[in-house]
Chain A
Amino acid sequence: NAGVTQTPKFRILKIGQSMTLQCAQDMNHNYMYWYRQDPGMGLKLIYYSVGAGITDKGEVPNGYNVSRSTTEDFPLRLELAAPSQTSVYFCASSYSVGGRDEQYFGPGTRLTVT
C-alpha cells in the first residue's frame, strides 16, 4: 500500500495563478482531509470529506475549493493564489471521522506564493 500520496512535493506560484494539489489514498478510507501548516504553527483544517460526493468546510476554507468524485481522490483547488496561502499542505485520510481510528497523512506539498 502506498498510503496517502500527494503531488506535487513543491510548487512556486505567482500571485493570481491557480493550481490543484492532488491527494490520493489506497486504503479505502471514507474520510479525507486537507490541512495547512504555517511555519511554527499547528495544523488548520481547510476542508474535509466524509465520502464520495460529500464535502464540508473546516476552519479556514476561504480561497480553496475541493471535490470528491471517488473514494480514492480528494484534490484541493487554489484559485487566485495569494501570499497568505504560502504554507505546507497536508492531506490525510481515516476510516472514520475520529474515535479510535488513526489519521494517516501524506508527505505534504510545500507551496510558495510570490
Chain B
Amino acid sequence: RKEVEQDPGPFNVPEGATVAFNCTYSNSASQSFFWYRQDCRKEPKLLMSVYSSGNEDGRFTAQLNRASQYISLLIRDSKLSDSATYLCVFHSGNTPLVFGKGTRLSVIA
C-alpha cells in the first residue's frame, strides 16, 4: 500500500457546487495532517491543518478518520478561484512531511 493515496481527478464542478476529496494514508503512527494547495505552475501553500475533531475555515472543512486512516476536504459553494491541485500531507515522528500527488479541481463557470 502506498504511503498516501489521492484520487488525481480532475474533478470538474460548476460554480457553487460542493465537492469533497479523500486521502488515505498507510502509516498508522501519523500524527499531523494538512491540506496544501498548489496553483498551476506555482509552489504549494498551506491551506489548512486537519485536527482530530474536524475543523472549518470559511467554505473549507477538513476531517480526520483515524480508524479508517483517511482525511477529507470539503469545499462548499465552489468559486472559480478554488481551481487548483489539493495535496494531502501527513507527518509522523521526526521525519519530513509526506506529500500526496494531489487531486486536481477545476471549477467551471
A contacts, CB < 8 Å to B: 31, 33, 35, 40-43, 45, 48, 58, 90, 97-100, 102-103, 105-108
Q: Could you tell me how many residues of chain B have their Cβ less than 8 Å away from some Cβ of chain A?
A: 21
A58, B43: Cβ atoms under 8 Å? no
Given contacts A42-B100, A98-B32, contact A106 B95 (CB under 8 A): no
B32, A42: Cβ atoms under 8 Å? no
Knowing that A98-B92, A99-B31, A100-B49 touch, tell me 18 more A-B residue pairs with CB under 8 angstroms: A35-B99, A41-B101, A90-B43, A97-B94, A97-B95, A98-B31, A98-B32, A98-B91, A98-B94, A99-B32, A99-B91, A100-B32, A105-B43, A105-B45, A106-B43, A107-B43, A108-B42, A108-B43
Main secondary structure of the interface of B (DSSP, over half): loop
Rounded to whole Å, the gap between the CB of B41 and the closest CB of chain A is: 8
Q: How far is the CA of A76 from the CA of B91 in the complex (A)?
A: 24
A102, B96: Cβ atoms under 8 Å? no
The reply to whether the CB of B54 lies closer than 8 angstroms to some CB of chain A is: no
List 10 tightest A-B contacts by C-beta distance, closest first. Answer: A98-B91, A42-B101, A105-B43, A43-B99, A102-B46, A48-B96, A97-B94, A105-B44, A42-B99, A98-B97
The reply to whether the CB of B87 lies closer than 8 angstroms to some CB of chain A is: yes
